[in-house]
């Protein structure tokens, strides 16, 4: 446990993945530090520098000089947010861990509320957005459609309108640390571990500075990740699609044979032939594609590589027990 401190003696860790966030970090840490000062417990902040190309690491080190609560995990390259988050969780030692974005879209001021609900006995306290400001209707619409879809096809309940901003109890973090898959759909993993969960509503602000690293291609890939790591329903879809096509083709063949026998058949028939070939070819390719998505992921998992490599680790001054 943490330094003997006022109040509960518990330690809160805050995990912050940061990729090219130099512009925002000083403002972010200012707001976060003010919130942590007001908490009745000790706190550490684990910043994960996810291979940033800008001055993020320098800024973090400068912040760490002045604030002993800061630890920095410096990854060897950019591994992506999901893995950066995992690296942070691995290094967090708190009795509870808050995961928050560095771009101030998640207000640090909500942390005391998350802590309060945790102390009431919930293991996962997620922040639920009531408004999405500074986002286009298209992003809102696609996000909604995605949640609806994944809800229907998978067995885990992934709450809508939540990001990664949440608090996890120690046992929830330990459970999560056992899930070492390469393809990490964090929202799904958070939901998969179960434990008593609760929501706290908040308004999501537009990004403070810098630019979002997300675009539709990345979002599409995230959606694919979410679906393939939480359900094999698309494989079933491929099966049924194949079955339906085969039945259709069979019926059509019977019809063609019947027609040829009863009415005779001149050389024609080229159009129907082409239609059938193209259709069957299309369905086969689609089915193969679906299977390929899963095979590719199995390939990645079987390599058994570590999730990330750490270049440097700068611990905080907070003593662990
Ligand atoms: N991030 C990261 N690695 C990446 C991309 C993003 O660590 O490869 C961090 C980023 O610094 C920020 C958080 O993940 O703290 C959320 O990123 P962003 O704001 O770009 O995503 P959005 O809010 O648009 O979903
Ligand atoms: Mg953001």
pLDDT score recorded for residue 137: 81
Instruction: Report whether 206 contacts 131 (CB < 8 A).
Output: no
For the chain, which residues make up each domain, given as ranges? 11-228, 233-302
Q: Is 50 in the pocket of ligand 1 (CB under 6 A)?
A: yes
pLDDT at 92 over 90: yes
Q: What is the mean pLDDT of residues 56-85?
A: 93
Q: Is 308 in the pocket of ligand 1 (CB under 6 A)?
A: no
Instruction: Report whether 291 contacts 238 (CB < 8 A).
Output: yes
Tell me which residue has its CA closest to atom 21 in ligand 1.
212
Q: Is 18 in the pocket of ligand 1 (CB under 6 A)?
A: yes
231-263 pLDDT tens trace: 777 777 777 887 788 788 778 878 877 887 888
Instruction: Report whether 283 contacts 242 (CB < 8 A).
Output: yes
CA-atom Rg of the chain in angstroms: 25
pLDDT score recorded for residue 5: 43
258-311 pLDDT tens trace: 887 888 767 667 667 767 787 787 788 778 878 888 888 887 788 788 899 999
Which strands form 162-169's sheet, in the order they lie side by side?
Answer: 197-204, 124-132, 162-169, 96-99, 11-18, 42-49, 70-75, 310-314
160-203 pLDDT tens trace: 778 889 999 999 999 999 988 888 888 888 888 889 999 888 87
CATH number of 11-228: 3.90.550.10
Report the distance separating Cα 46 and Cα 51, nearest Å.
15
Distance (Å) from CA 81 to ligand 1 centroid: 6
Report the distance separating Cα 15 and Cα 169, nearest Å.
13
Report the distance separating Cα 24 and Cα 60, nearest Å.
11
Residue 301 Cα to chain centre, angstroms? 17
Q: Is 202 in the pocket of ligand 1 (CB under 6 A)?
A: no
Instruction: Report whether 123 contacts 169 (CB < 8 A).
Output: yes
Residue with tokens 């239609």: 275
Q: pLDDT-derived band of residue 222, with 50, 70 and 90 as boundaries? A: confident
Report the distance separating Cα 146 and Cα 187, nearest Å.
12
Residue 97 Cα to chain centre, angstroms? 17
Can you say whether residue 101 is alpha, beta or left, with left for phi > 0 and alpha for psi between -120 and 50 degrees? beta
Instruction: Report whether 64 contacts 26 (CB < 8 A).
Output: no
- Quote the pTM value: 0.74
Q: Looking at ligand 1, which atom is closest to the CA of residue 21? A: 11
pLDDT score recorded for residue 2: 39
Give the mutation target among 17, 143, 307 for probing the ligand 1 site: most ligand atoms within 8 A of CB: 17
How far, in Å, are 50, 73, 109, 292 from residue 77 at the CA level? 6, 12, 31, 28
pLDDT score recorded for residue 248: 82
């Amino acid at each position: 446990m943490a330094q003997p401190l006022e109040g509960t003696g518990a330690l809160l860790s805050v995990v912050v993945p940061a990729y090219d966030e130099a512009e925002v970090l000083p403002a972010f840490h200012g707001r976060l530090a003010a919130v942590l000062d007001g908490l009745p417990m000790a706190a550490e902040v684990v910043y994960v520098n996810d291979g940033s190309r800008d001055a993020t690491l320098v800024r973090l080190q400068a912040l760490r000089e002045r604030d002993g609560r800061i630890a920095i995990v410096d990854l060897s390259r950019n591994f992506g947010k999901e893995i950066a988050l995992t690296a942070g969780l691995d290094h967090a030692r708190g009795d509870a861990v808050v995961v928050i974005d560095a771009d101030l879209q998640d207000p640090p001021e909500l942390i005391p509320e998350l802590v309060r609900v945790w102390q009431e006995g919930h293991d996962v306290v997620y922040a639920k957005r009531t408004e999405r400001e500074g986002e286009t209707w298209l992003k809102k619409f696609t996000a909604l459609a995605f949640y609806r879809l994944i809800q229907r096809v998978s067995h885990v309940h992934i709450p809508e309108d939540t990001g990664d901003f949440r608090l996890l109890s120690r046992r929830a973090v330990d459970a999560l640390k056992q899930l070492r898959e390469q393809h990490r759909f964090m929202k799904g993993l958070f939901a998969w571990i179960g434990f008593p969960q609760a929501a706290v509503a908040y308004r999501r602000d537009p990004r403070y500075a810098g630019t979002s690293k997300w675009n539709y291609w990345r979002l599409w890939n995230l959606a694919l990740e979410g679906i393939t790591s939480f359900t094999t329903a698309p494989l079933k879809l491929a099966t049924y699609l194949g079955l339906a096509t085969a039945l259709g083709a069979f019926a059509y063949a019977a019809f063609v044979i019947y027609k040829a026998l009863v009415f005779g058949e001149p050389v024609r028939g080229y159009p129907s032939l082409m239609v059938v070939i193209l259709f069957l070819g299309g369905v086969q390719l689609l089915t193969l594609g679906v299977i390929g998505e899963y095979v590719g992921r199995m390939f990645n998992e079987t390599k058994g590589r570590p999730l990330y490599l750490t270049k440097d680790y700068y611990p905080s001054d907070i003593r662990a027990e």
